[in-house]
C-alpha cells in the first residue's frame, strides 16, 4: 500500500468566517494510518440507497468496513441476509437490521434466516465536489 502524506491543520477550520490557514499547518497525516487500523481485514464498499441517511451515510458514499471488529448491538454493519448484502444497524436484542430512515422498515432476522456479518462500518467518505 502506497503511503501518501497530506498536510494537516493543527486547529479546526471554521465553517463560517474564513481565517488565515498557513499559520495553522501542524503535521502530515497518512489517511491509511488514520482511518484503517487493520489493513488486512479492511475493505471499501459503496453505499447505495437512502436507508442510512439518518446516520450520515448517503447514496454513493464510500464505506470503510473492518472485518476484524466484533459486531455489537447498534453497530453499523455490512450484513448478508440470505445472500443479500445490506448496510444497516445491527439490533441483536430484537433480531433486526435497522435502517436509519423512518421511511424504511426494519428487516427481521428470521429464525431460519442465514445472517453473515461481513464487517463493521468504521468510517464513511463523502464526495463534495459539484459535477460540471
What's the CATH code of the domain at 116? 2.10.109.10
Residue 5: which pLDDT band, with cuts at 50, 70 and 90? Answer: low
Catalytic sites, residue numbers: 51, 88
Give the integer Cα–Cα distance in Å for 47 and 108: 21
Residue 48: which pLDDT band, with cuts at 50, 70 and 90? Answer: very high
Is 45 in the same domain as 89?
yes
User: Span 49-77, mean pLDDT?
Assistant: 96
Q: What is the pLDDT of residue 97?
A: 98
Q: H-helix or E-strand containing 71?
A: none
Question: What's the number of domains the chain is made of?
Answer: 2
Residue 104 lies in a domain: yes
Q: What is the pLDDT of residue 21?
A: 57
Is 118 in the same domain as 58?
yes
Is 78 in the same domain as 29?
no
User: How far are the Cα atoms of 15, 18, 121 from residue 118, in angstroms, in the given order?
Assistant: 36, 42, 10
User: How far are the Cα atoms of 81, 90, 106, 114 from residue 110, in angstroms, in the given order?
Assistant: 10, 14, 12, 8
Q: What is the pLDDT of residue 57?
A: 97
Q: What is the pLDDT of residue 84?
A: 94
Residue 22 reports pLDDT greater than 80: no
User: Span 25-34, mean pLDDT?
Assistant: 75
Quote the domain boundaries for residue 16. 1-35
Amino acid at each position: 500500500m502506497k503511503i501518501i502524506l497530506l498536510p494537516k491543520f493543527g486547529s479546526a477550520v471554521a465553517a463560517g468566517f474564513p481565517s488565515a490557514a498557513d499559520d495553522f499547518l501542524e503535521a502530515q497525516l497518512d489517511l491509511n494510518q488514520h482511518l484503517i487500523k487493520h489493513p488486512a481485514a479492511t475493505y471499501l464498499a459503496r453505499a447505495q440507497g437512502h436507508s442510512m441517511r439518518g446516520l450520515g451515510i448517503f447514496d454513493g458514499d464510500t464505506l470503510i468496513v473492518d472485518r476484524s471488529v466484533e459486531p455489537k448491538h447498534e453497530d453499523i454493519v455490512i450484513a448478508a441476509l440470505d445472500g443479500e448484502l445490506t448496510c444497516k444497524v445491527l439490533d441483536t436484542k430484537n433480531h433486526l437490521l435497522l435502517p436509519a430512515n423512518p421511511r424504511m422498515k426494519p428487516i427481521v432476522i428470521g429464525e431460519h434466516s442465514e445472517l453473515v456479518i461481513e464487517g463493521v462500518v468504521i468510517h464513511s467518505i463523502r464526495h463534495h465536489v459539484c459535477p460540471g
